[in-house]
Amino acid sequence: MAADPPAPPLPGAVLFACNFNRVRSPMAEALMMRALGDRVFVDSCGLKRDEAEGVDPFVEAVMAELSVDLADHKPKTFDDLEDTSFDLVVSLTPEAQHRAVEMTRGRAAEIEYWPTFDPTLVEGSREARLAAYREVRDALAAHIAQRFPR
């Protein structure tokens, strides 16, 4: 019986991008850091700045369930990035995908699109909304585990 093929090498730097850097991309950034520690530089950004400060409170709640504290996360845009030399840019929205293609034009960077539901669209009780955020968190964690097996 043949052994499983070795896992592909890890990229040196990964950027997760979405629309506002308050929900999906900070979740993905934190999950990747949780899974791979300091073996990969990970950052996140959004297309636009939201008037709200920090991460979405529902994100804080569902990430705290995994003992991940995002209280100090400061949303940033593509323009706020100090360095743009990422090996991999993962777009979580169609709009972020377009901007990622522009940013990496002429560079040796991979771009992947992981369509990710926006849990802020869910209405209803607090528990129904938390359930939507958990689904997004768990889908991102599964995608990270599949893409970066260790």
pLDDT digits (tens, 9 = 90+) for 69-113: 998 899 999 999 988 889 999 999 999 999 999 988 888 889 999
| Least confident segment among 34-43, 101-110, 115-124 | 101-110
* 47 contacts 95 by C-beta, under 8 angstroms: yes
Q: What is the pTM of this model?
A: 0.92
Give the residue-averaged pLDDT of 20-42.
95
- Exposed e or buried b per residue across 115-125, where buried means at least 16 C-beta atoms within 10 angstroms of its C-beta: ebeebbebeee
| Residue 1 in this model has a pLDDT that exceeds 80 | no
107: left (phi over 0), alpha (psi -120 to 50) or beta: beta
What confidence tier does 5 reach under pLDDT thresholds 50, 70, 90? low
